Structures are given as structure tokens and as C-alpha cells.
Amino acid sequence: MATGEFNLINKFFLSPSTRKEVSLGIGDDCAIVSVPEGKQLAITADTLVDGVHFPSNTSPQDIACKAIAVNLSDLAAMGAEPAWLTLALTLPRVDESWLESFSDSFRKTAEKYNVQLIGGDTTQGPLSITVQAMGFAGPDNIMRRDGARPGDVIYVSGTLGDAAAGLRILQRGQAIDANNAWLVDRLNRPEPRVDLGLKVSAYCKCAIDISDGLAADLGHILEASDCGATVNIDRIPLSHQLVEYSVNRNEVDWEMVLSGGDDYELCLVVAPDNENKLMQIASEISLPLTRVGTIEEHTALNIVDETGAKYLLDRSGYEHFIK
Ligand code: ADP
Ligand code: MG
């Protein structure tokens, strides 16, 4: 954006340095930073496009919060400590009140996770927000997608399906009572599991964040690790809000829970020897971890119920258990 770009950046995005590794932040051609000794740099970027990654009437506060959260979730899934952000912002026009709300929420969210905005770019065009997040990873404590082995057990954090239910509530124009508001919040203000990722990375060799649904994301682990898994659908953790939205547990739309996106919980794969350690960490940080399945030798993802009956997952329809 030609005129006013510098004013705009100074007004909305310039703030005092909060991290000691940053020698030069916003304002020059590049930021200058250093990586602590013995650490490696973990880098990720995600773009949110208006109408594609968020409904067009999403508030600027929620967009800013989500743009940071989805990136920190990727760092969490590697076991990395978040440090810096860059922000590439494409705006249809300079709307000061939108920018005020966006930048305020961006600053607060960055503060919450102790990350510093160190640069970016500002251009004119259809609304799109790209955040790049950088963090520090241990060289020996990196959780990779190819780290799963037959015999390992599969855990997920928090509850699944809430964000997909939130999206459905908005798309169907359903009433936003307290229960539904909580589900919509799970869509718009996801909480990246940064603490969990950092703490478990000493005991866990394999993780992914659940951004496209457990079935797809666990599928990435199985492909990279060249193995299969059995997941017990009756063990999938559900929030009481999702159960209430669905009327009762028997009416839950499993398609939505397993293939709906935007949960930003972590899926962790650990050797059975480390399960106790995992449970200890979960109680330290007061975040439930639920064992949902096991890694196996074959290369399929089998979803079964408590009786062992198979469930066929099909994004396009409402499948039932095959007895
Ligand atoms: P250049 O033309 O050298 O790329 P810019 O005018 O794009 O410089 O940016 C000037 C400074 O402001 C740079 O330090 C850049 O990183 C920073 N910056 C630009 N846009 C943003 C933004 N949306 N958020 C944070 N920093 C930004
Ligand atoms: Mg630039």
C-alpha cells in the first residue's frame, strides 16, 4: 500500500520489544534476531482468507486471535517454544476502526503467548491475513509426523468437534445461547496447546495439531510413519456443550467430530512406557488428554466402536456403524 503505509504500521503495529533475542524489530528492511544456543529454529506460516477460512462477518478481534492461534498450534505440534511473528496483511481499504480492533486483539494475543511481532508487509487487495510464527525447538525434543511406531498409543487433548459445530451454528443461523456461544468461540478463538506441546516433547516423538479433523490429521501421521491405527470412536472426548447441541450422545454427528476442522487440539503418539508421564503433565496443566487408539502394523485407519464394529467415514454423508 503506497500512501500512508508507514503511518499505518507505526500507528497500529509498532510496539516496544518484548523479547531479548530481537535486536531489531519493525521499521527496517529486515528484522534481526538471534537463536538461543543449542536451539533450532521452527518456522511455520498460515494464511486466513476472507470467506474461505473465516465467515466474512467475523470480527477483526476474532480474526487476529485466530491468525496467531493457528500458527502457534503448528509450533505446539512440533514441541517448539513460540518467539516471533511476522504479519502479511492484505486489506481492501484502510478502515481505521477495523485496524484498531484487529491490531489491539493481535497485540493482546501476542502478549498472552509471549511472542513479538517483528515485521511484515501491508498490501491492498481482498482481505487476507498471513502470519508466520517462529520458535525454538530442542534438537532432541522434536515431535515429527514420521515418529509413530506399531504398539504406540494415540492421545488427543481437549475435546473434538466443537469448532465444526460452531461453524454449523453460524451457517444455519441458529440461536446463539450460552451453549452455542461457547461452541462458536471454539471456532473463532482457538487456544493453541503451546504448554502441552512444550512439556510432552521430552516424552513424545510424534504429534500433529488437529486442524482438518482427527481422521485426516492422524492420516498424515500414518502416511509419514508408514503404519496404521485403530481408533475407538466411543473414546473420542466430547464437550458437554457439543453433546447438548446434538441433543444427546447418540445423536452426535461423528462425521462432523472426526472430519470437521479447526479444533487445534493436539494428537500425540507415545510409547506405552511414557503414558504415565503424559497423564502427569495433563494434570499439571489441567488439560484433559484422552487415549483414543493404538498404532498398528497395517497401513489403514480403522475406526471402530466399543464392540469392535467398524465405522465408515465418508465426508459426504452420514454413515452408520456396519454391524
Ligand atoms: P519494505 O518496502 O522494505 O518491504 P515495508 O514498507 O513493507 O518495507 O515495511 C516497513 C517496515 O514495516 C518493515 O520493517 C516491515 O517488516 C514492517 N511491516 C510492514 N507491514 C507490517 C505489518 N502488517 N505488520 C508488522 N510489520 C509490518
Ligand atoms: Mg514490504
- The residues placing their C-beta within 5 Å of ligand 2, an ion, are 121
Helix, strand, or coil (residue 231): strand
> So what's the pLDDT on residue 77?
98
Atom of ligand 1 nearest to the CA of 122: 20
Q: How far is the CA of 128 from the centre of ligand 1 (A)?
A: 16
Closest residue (by CA) to atom 18 of ligand 1?
120
Per residue in 78-87, pLDDT (tens digit) is 999 999 999 9
Ligand 1 pocket test, candidate residues 1, 9, 86, most atoms within 8 A of CB = 9
> So what's the pLDDT on residue 320?
35
Tell me if 121 CB under 6 Å of ligand 1: yes
Residue 285 has, within 13 A of its CA and on its CB side, a CA count of 18
Q: Average per-residue pLDDT in the chain?
A: 94
Query: What is the mean predicted confidence (pLDDT) over 187-215?
Result: 97
Amino acid at 130: T
Tell me if 215 CB under 6 Å of ligand 1: no
> So what's the pLDDT on residue 1?
56
Per residue in 259-274, pLDDT (tens digit) is 999 999 999 999 999 9
Per residue in 109-160, pLDDT (tens digit) is 999 999 999 999 999 999 999 999 999 999 999 999 999 999 999 999 999 9
* Band of pLDDT at residue 315, cut at 50, 70 and 90: low
Q: How far is the CA of 14 from the centre of ligand 1 (A)?
A: 10
> So what's the pLDDT on residue 319?
38
Per residue in 276-301, pLDDT (tens digit) is 999 999 999 999 999 999 999 998 99
* Band of pLDDT at residue 246, cut at 50, 70 and 90: very high
* Strands of the chain, DSSP E: 22-24, 32-33, 40-49, 81-91, 116-124, 128-137, 153-157, 206-210, 228-232, 265-270, 289-296, 301-304, 310-311, 321-322
Tell me if 122 CB under 6 Å of ligand 1: yes
Tell me if 28 CB under 6 Å of ligand 1: yes
Q: Which ligand is nearest to the CA of 6?
A: 1
Query: What is the mean predicted confidence (pLDDT) over 188-204?
Result: 98
> So what's the pLDDT on residue 49?
97
Tell me if 9 CB under 6 Å of ligand 1: yes
Please report the DSSP string for 298-322 in residue order.
SS-EEEE-TT--EE---TTS---EE
Q: What is the dihedral of CA 118, 65, 134, 37, to 10 degrees?
A: 90
Taking the C-alpha atoms of residue 241 and residue 46, their distance in angstroms, rounded to an integer, is 29
Per residue in 38-73, pLDDT (tens digit) is 999 999 999 999 999 999 999 999 999 999 999 999
Residues 114, 68 contacting (CB under 8 angstroms): no
Looking at the predicted structure, is the pLDDT value of residue 316 above 60? no
> So what's the pLDDT on residue 5?
74
Taking the C-alpha atoms of residue 166 and residue 186, their distance in angstroms, rounded to an integer, is 7
Q: How far is the CA of 15 from the centre of ligand 1 (A)?
A: 13
* Band of pLDDT at residue 322, cut at 50, 70 and 90: very low
> What is the 3-state secondary structure of 163-206?
HHHHHHHHHCCCCCCHHHHHHHHHHHCCCCCHHHHHHHCCCCCE
Q: How far is the CA of 231 from the centre of ligand 2 (A)?
A: 46
Closest residue (by CA) to atom 10 of ligand 1?
27
Closest residue (by CA) to atom 7 of ligand 1?
121
> So what's the pLDDT on residue 312?
85
Taking the C-alpha atoms of residue 187 and residue 245, their distance in angstroms, rounded to an integer, is 15
Q: Which ligand is nearest to the CA of 10?
A: 1
